Amino acid sequence: MVFGITSVVLIIALNMRLTFGRYLSHLPEEKRKVNSENFKGYVRWIVCWKKSFLKLSRWDRCLNYLIAWGKKNYPGWTVWVFYALVLSYAYLALSGLIFAWFVPRGLYGFPLLLHVAAGALFAACLSIILFLKARVYLPEKIAAGNQSQSRPDFYCPLLNKTFPRPYLQAAAFWTFAVAGFLLAASTLGSMLPYFHYPAQIFFFNLHRWSALASVLSVSLSLDSMIE
């Protein structure tokens, strides 16, 4: 229950924060404040935006954007690795979260079989992507490439600091990588005949919370991807 509530709250909270920030960035500089008027406008904006997803054209545009982004950032055959990663992760996240939230028994049956199969694909793709892109997201590379960007810096109220967008991208990337690593590790650990029952429970919880971390990092990454 705690996982369900926490995951829903965190995902909604983060996405609200990101979309609110995006909404504010459309406003003139002087009007970028956190007040009720802006919040109402944000709600209207969100509703319109979500409504647009009722149309297939919006999905088409999203897909095209994703494909274009993938081709731009992953040249040659590596783009297929990226697509495989995206598709497998989409299924993993959806199946995992839906069953975790709405089915008391948890993931079972054919969705579980597909989840495991998709997990294998995800692990392989993530390893390749990490191998290809780790250098891009190294701190010195991020600092060196910290140039002009179309969107304002990201302000983190927790640390009371403003971070350049590339830092956010890097943080999202590495969070996703670590979460993916833990997801795979917890899966492998539960399948090995070396760990006793309390360890199985630990792996299960590790898998869940790592999945949540990966979903949050994907939200951050999507925010960074979309101009």
Residues lying near another protein in the complex (CB under 8 A)? 1-3, 6, 106, 108-110, 113, 116, 120, 123-124, 126-127, 130-131, 134, 138-140, 174, 177-178, 180-181, 184-185, 187-188, 190-198, 200-201, 204-205, 209
Q: How far apart, in whole angstroms, are the C-alpha atoms of residue 73 and residue 103?
A: 38
Nearer to another protein among residue 37 and residue 140 (C-beta): 140
Q: Residue 99 CB, nearest distance to another protein (Å)? A: 12
Q: How far apart are the first and last CA of the chain?
A: 36
Q: Residue 96 CB, nearest distance to another protein (Å)? A: 15
Nearer to another protein among residue 72 and residue 196 (C-beta): 196
Nearer to another protein among residue 19 and residue 190 (C-beta): 190
Q: Residue 91 CB, nearest distance to another protein (Å)? A: 17
Nearer to another protein among residue 141 and residue 165 (C-beta): 141
Q: Which residues of 137-162 are buried (b: 16+ CB within 10 A; e: fewer)?
A: beeeebeeeeeeeeeeebeeeeeeee
Nearer to another protein among residue 184 and residue 216 (C-beta): 184
Q: How far apart, in whole angstroms, are the C-alpha atoms of residue 20 and residue 30?
A: 16
Tokens 């008027």 — which residue?
Answer: 37
DSSP per residue, 47-78: HHHHHHTTSHHHHHHHHHHHHHHHHHHS-TTH
CB 74 within 8 A of CB 81: yes
Q: Residue 123 CB, nearest distance to another protein (Å)? A: 4
